[in-house]
Structure 1
Amino acid sequence: MTLNFRAEGAPLSLDLSHLIVAGWTGRDADAIAHHIEELAALGVPAPSATPLYYRVAAQLLTQAPVLEAVGNETSGEVEPLIVAVEGRTYLGLASDHTDRALEAHSVALSKQVCAKPCASELWSWKSVSDHLEEIVLRSWIEEGGEWVPYQEGTLAAIRPLTDLIAGAGLADLADDGPVAMLCGTFGAKGGVRPATRFRMQMEDPRNGRAITHEYETRNLPEVA
């Protein structure tokens, strides 16, 4: 599946070879513990190590405005997106949409069963590399017909992206073709919960720009 991006104003079409979802990437040990406790309340077991790099099907990354998921226990998470292609690196915006019911049995499988929505705009690594920790990520969910703040934080709360790039072995994987990685998230205000509409934003205050993306989840019947 071809993804059509705009990278610093120029078109960039990619057929991904690899997609990775990095988890448990918080820089603050207390924040990691909080997120582990937050998910433990949903029955999710603690990770074997932090961070972890989950390999998922490359075709899961999507720019579609509607995501279809089985059941009503899925939810999004705003995350920075790293894209590496032909020696170039870009920063983008994505949601690690996850099946929370399945997550209680297997985090790896829960990552695999949901598409990962992403915005169509990318920033060059060179344009943000000297102020990555200033970049702000936010998300909102629709509840009761209104948009409610759901997550907010800066990349300073996530492990350095260069460390995650090295830990995932992105340079070697990129030898096979374009590769993308979602890089972790922040705790949810009011707790992790499903919503049929999800909005996210990545703001670069130094350069006065932002990337936004919004998608809807269509719940398919869970037939036994």
Structure 2
Amino acid sequence: MQMNFNVGGAALNIELTHLVIAGWTGRDAVAITHHIEELAALGVAPPSDTPLYYRVSASLLTSAPHVEVVGGNSSGEVEPMIVQLGNRRFLGLGSDHTDRALEAHSVALSKQVCAKPCAAELWAWDEVANDLERISLESWIEEDGEWVLYQQGTLASIRPLAELIVGAGLDSLATDGCAAMMCGTFGAKGGVRPATRFRMRMIDTLLGREIAHEYTAITLPEVA
């Protein structure tokens, strides 16, 4: 899957060969329980272990402003994203857009059926690796014509990204190409719910910069 990113003003063109969605990555056991309960309210069974690493098609990753979904039961989740190209590593911003109705049947299948939107900008890993927990992420959804804050948190509430890299075997996956991983999310304010418009950003307060992305999910008819 050909992807075009920007790193510090320079183009980075990659052929993505592997995509991993890390789930249940909260560092706080109470927060994990809260997220499990959020999804249980939608009929989603609890995970067999935490964290879990779901492999999905690399072709799902996209920086397009529009994605297509079947039915009206999907929504995004803001997540830090790691891109690994050989021994070069980058931090980016993504959304684990998920079909909530299918999630109640199979989390693994729900991860596979929706595109995974991401911002086209990346930060070099060595610029952030020593102080990752300062990085914050936020998301908004559009409800009744208004943007509503949906998620908010810092990387301090997610398991150390170095731990997730090892758990997913990202270095090994990147030996034959380029691998990317979305690294988990935060609880939703007001509960997980469908939304067709999603806005997200990642903020580095120390260096005074941010990455942002917005997309719309176009609903295709659900034909039985």
TM-score if structure 2 supplies the norm length? 0.99
Output aligned runs, 1:101-180, within 5 Å: 101-180=101-180
Establish whether residue 71 from structure 1 lines up as the match of residue 71 from structure 2.
Answer: yes
| Partner Cα separation in structure 1 for residue 40 and residue 15 of structure 2 | 36
Establish whether residue 46 from structure 1 lines up as the match of residue 46 from structure 2.
Answer: yes
Cα distance, 1:57 vs structure 2: 0.2
* Paired residue total: 224
Cα distance, 1:2 vs structure 2: 1.3
Q: Tell me what 1:191 maps to.
A: 191
Output aligned runs, 1:48-63, within 5 Å: 48-63=48-63
Query: Residue type matched to 2:138 in 1?
Result: R
Cα distance, 1:9 vs structure 2: 1.6
Query: Residue type matched to 1:206 in 2?
Result: L
Runs of 4+ in 1 over 2 A off after TM superposition: none
> Does the 8 Å contact 2:44/2:105 carry over to 1?
yes
Query: Residue type matched to 2:156 in 1?
Result: A
Secondary structure, counterpart of 2:130 in structure 1: coil
Cα distance, 1:201 vs structure 2: 0.2
| Partner Cα separation in structure 1 for residue 100 and residue 112 of structure 2 | 12
| Partner Cα separation in structure 2 for residue 47 and residue 86 of structure 1 | 31
Secondary structure, counterpart of 1:131 in structure 2: helix
Establish whether residue 203 from structure 1 lines up as the match of residue 203 from structure 2.
Answer: yes
Note the alpha carbon deviations across 1:186-219, whole angstroms, 9 max, x for none: 0000011111110000000000000000000100
| Partner Cα separation in structure 1 for residue 60 and residue 14 of structure 2 | 13
Q: List alignment gaps of at least 5 residues for structure 1.
A: none
> Does the 8 Å contact 2:86/2:171 carry over to 1?
no
| Partner Cα separation in structure 2 for residue 22 and residue 91 of structure 1 | 15
Query: Residue type matched to 2:205 in 1?
Result: P
TM-score if structure 1 supplies the norm length? 0.99
Q: List alignment gaps of at least 5 residues for structure 2.
A: none
> Does the 8 Å contact 2:78/2:151 carry over to 1?
yes
Note the alpha carbon deviations across 1:154-206, whole angstroms, 9 max, x for none: 00000000000000000111011000000000000001111111000000000
Establish whether residue 100 from structure 1 lines up as the match of residue 100 from structure 2.
Answer: yes
Q: Tell me what 1:6 maps to.
A: 6
Query: Residue type matched to 2:16 in 1?
Result: L
| Partner Cα separation in structure 2 for residue 87 and residue 131 of structure 1 | 20
**RMSD of the TM alignment (CA)?**
0.5
Cα distance, 1:222 vs structure 2: 0.3
Cα distance, 1:86 vs structure 2: 2.1
Secondary structure, counterpart of 1:50 in structure 2: coil
Q: Tell me what 2:217 maps to.
A: 217
Identity of aligned residues (%): 70
Secondary structure, counterpart of 2:47 in structure 1: coil
| Partner Cα separation in structure 1 for residue 22 and residue 161 of structure 2 | 11
